[in-house]
Amino acid sequence: MTNFAQLGLKPEILKALDKKGYTTPSPIQASAIPPVLEGKDILAAAQTGTGKTAGFVLPIIHQLSGAPSQRNPRALIITPTRELAAQILDNIKLYSEFLSLKSMVAFGGVNIRPQIKALASGVDILVATPGRLLDLIEQGACKLSSVETLVLDEADRMLDMGFIRDIRKVVKLVPKKRQNLLFSATFSKEIRSVSEEFLNNPTIVEVAVQNATADKVKQLAYRCDNTAKTKALIQLFSDHELSQVIIFTRTKHGANRLSKNLEEAGIKSAAIHGNKSQGARTRALSDFKSQNIKALVATDIAARGIDIASLPFVVNFELPNIPEDYVHRIGRTARAGKEGTAISLVSNDERPFFSSIQKLTGNKIPLEDIDGFIPENWPDRAPTEKEVMKAAEQRKQEARKGRSGGGGGGGGNRRSGGGGRSERGGNSDRRNTRRR
């Protein structure tokens, strides 16, 4: 497959793609679009950065534009975070510029009334986070009886965030006869079982192996004591001429603190995480995209799916204790074939996580030193499996303490305890709307 026209997409869509400057389908698009156009269910393994959004948006708008609008949505796209939902809508608007389709996004943390109003005036494509979608349904503002295509985007992340029950509720409300498209970064056992539950004889589309994104990223790692990390990072800003960078911390509290320290060092920065208001998050992201700020300090979930064209750098200020999160993090850079560098600061107590990351990605990343920041006590031997477990447990406890201490904790340990709940509330909204 060499160009979009060969996929049989409508001229209006080709015109929009041409306007955007996209001529060649990415591998996920070339594999996913034909079966979707044939009306098949698909189970697709694709990470963000592969062009997966257009992989489902293009065939959906092609199909919908060929039939008359109903009052209720004919395509429903469910996605875990607000930022991702907003980005998907941007994509839909972009690609359907020359078609007359109505699309909208619904997520929490913002007033529900304009969403109710928009739904009442009729919509073809609805992009929503699970919590707000259920709120809208419960309030009678949204009916799913006309849904022909259901997309579960970033399904693995939705499972991690505990959305499976919400998704089951939604699936009960959509017609039995429908097309299902499930996108997930990985094909875990859980994803396969969800696929068996919701999908009908899906075509498997698998173009990205787990570390495919990582392959295009130049990965650097530096030994660094925890206490010296902020100063070391500030030095890296000049050493590597860091122009625009997402910096990952494990906790929300840590993100706030680091952002403040960077500001004090003259590096324009903002933090983005689940405890920030939606307004603050949107502002931080748009300031970052418009390059008004250099550094966006983020927790894992908040940064999930953020698409920033040509983001050159990602820094792991702290390593995630879940190695897959490393892959997601560094996948923020080197997107759509561009170059990118991921820099990790590794303290001695993080070496177990560093080992797991190397095991998962299959990449041997040499640990280097930053001048002036060479740790004094650095044991020679690699950590044992037992130490890996112990360090993970310690982090879990730290995060718990942080949470009970008010405002800290969170990001890093959600799969192993309640850590995701606070992030989940912030990202997806349900509780925000309920509690008001």
Among the listed residues 9, 22, 182, 388, the single contact to ligand AMP using CB under 6 A: 22
Report in angstroms how near the CB of residue 209 gets to ligand AMP at its nearest. 15
Question: Is residue 83 at the binding interface for ligand AMP, with CB under 6 A as the rule?
Answer: no
- 300 alpha carbon, distance to own chain's centre: 8
- Our finding on whether 96 is near ligand AMP (CB under 6 A) is no
Query: What phi-psi label fits residue 24: left (phi over 0), alpha (psi between -120 and 50 degrees) or beta?
Result: beta
Distances (CA, A) of 219 to 147, 215, 292, 312, 343: 43, 9, 26, 12, 6
Q: Decide if residue 81 touches ligand AMP (CB under 6 A).
A: no
Taking residues 24 to 63 in sequence order and writing x for each that binds ligand AMP by CB under 6 A, - otherwise, the string is: xxx--x------------------xxxxxxx---------
C-alpha span between 243 and 226 (Å, rounded): 24
Nearer to ligand AMP, 124 or 154 (CB): 154
> What's the order of all strands across the beta sheet hosting 75-78?
103-106, 125-128, 75-78, 149-152, 179-184, 42-45, 203-206
Does residue 389 sit in helix, strand or coil?
helix
Q: Which is nearer to ligand AMP, 22 or 326 (CB)?
A: 22
Q: Which is nearer to ligand AMP, 49 or 426 (CB)?
A: 49
Q: Which is nearer to ligand AMP, 304 or 424 (CB)?
A: 304
432 binds ligand AMP (CB under 6 A): no
In the complex with ligand AMP, which residue's Cβ is closer, 158 or 388? Answer: 158
Any idea of the CA torsion for 328, 331, 332, 336, to the nearest 10 degrees? -140
CA distance 114 to 318: 39
Which residues in the 209-248 window bind ligand AMP by CB under 6 A?
none
The reply to whether 335 sits near ligand AMP by the rule CB under 6 A is yes
Considering the rule CB under 6 A, would residue 307 count as an interface residue with ligand AMP? yes
Contact flag: residue 154 with ligand AMP (CB under 6 A): no
Rounded Cα–Cα distance for residues 365 and 351 (Å): 12
Q: Which 3 state secondary structure label does DSSP give 43?
A: strand
- The number of angstroms, rounded, from the C-alpha of 407 to the middle of its chain's C-alpha atoms is 23
Least spacing, CB of residue 89 vs ligand AMP, in Å: 13
Q: Give residues in contact with ligand AMP (CB under 6 A).
A: 22, 24-26, 29, 48-54, 307, 309, 335-336
